[in-house]
Structure 1
């Protein structure tokens, strides 16, 4: 056995670790640990939050019949950041009040009409809202800025045997016919 002449006792390890423990549990150390825990919690929340695709439709009831009846999309829960009006309250203190609506920062009521919510894929939701104009020949119109969303809707329509006709690839534009005979125009809006 080789003896180096250096022995480390348990007492010296404890004495050497005391300043580290003291720093860790100081006010500054606790604040740093809290901030790190908050950062990890926010990262976990944001990475697990579903991607939300929004489709603007000309008639919400016909859209409900199409997405629930024809495509059989399951209803989805409203994500927390939408439910609590999170996206509109960010930085509201620095915005001129002239640009704010009267209900800014007020959580939505459960009975407030905030559109239809469907589960499109495992971590993707479809938010259907009203506001689109009727298309040619009074076709129901569904407008979306996200091509991936429309491709998913088209795949779903194809898998359920819905009649469809692709009118253009770029931007994506196709027609589908629902069970009630409504012709729905699905349009990718150019951003």
Structure 2
């Protein structure tokens, strides 16, 4: 009679004993079968994806009416350092977000082509693991204001803190949804508006 060699998952993968108690013993021949190898590859792939996505920076997107004015504002006045495009954005992550639910009031009819690369937008490091992605597409506000719109209140709160710490002139117009005005170097009024979902 042949001796059936079995390895438990706690021996094979060095899992804690309490976790190995919930998993049945796995025969070694089924572990290294095609199906067993595929399962191990899927588990490894899932773990790698989890590590990749959990280490990816949080990205806030702000839609602006003029990328050149926005670049002067975020780099000049707010002194935000430029950031590299996060790896997960190379795989069209933002394409799935769409602007289907965006109020047409915030959208520009004719986006103005500027000297800035409009396809990629602008990328800034807002905090240690948080980036700011500036894209074109918002319309001008009332009185020819530069409008910056965002779906995320946390993003606008971070930007407001940055404005306050730089001692820039600002006026909070509304708290819910957040809307405030800021003056830039050229004394243009920039309207920062939260778009309520």
Pairwise TM-score range, normalised by the shorter structure:
0.7 to 0.9
Deviations 1:31-76 (A, max 9, x none): 1110100110111111111221111111110000000011111111
Say whether residues 1:17 and 2:24 are aligned partners: no
Aligned partner of residue 5 in structure 2, secondary structure: helix
Say whether residues 1:140 and 2:146 are aligned partners: yes
Q: Which runs of 5+ in 1 are unaligned?
A: 1-13, 90-110
Say whether residues 1:178 and 2:184 are aligned partners: yes
2:105 is matched with none
CA drift of 1:88 comes to 4.1
- Partners of 2:188 and 2:151 lie apart in 1 by 23
Aligned partner of residue 82 in structure 2, secondary structure: coil
CA drift of 1:157 comes to 0.9
1:106-185 alignment to 2 at 5 Å? 113-185=119-191
Say whether residues 1:62 and 2:69 are aligned partners: yes
TM value normalised by structure 1: 0.75
CA drift of 1:86 comes to 4.5
Alpha-carbon spacing, 1:155–1:87, altered in 2? closer, same or farther (3 Å): closer
Q: Which runs of 5+ in 2 are unaligned?
A: 8-25, 97-116
1:28 is matched with 35
Alpha-carbon spacing, 1:63–1:41, altered in 2? closer, same or farther (3 Å): same
Aligned partner of residue 42 in structure 2, secondary structure: helix
CA drift of 1:190 comes to 1.7
- Partners of 2:191 and 2:94 lie apart in 1 by 29
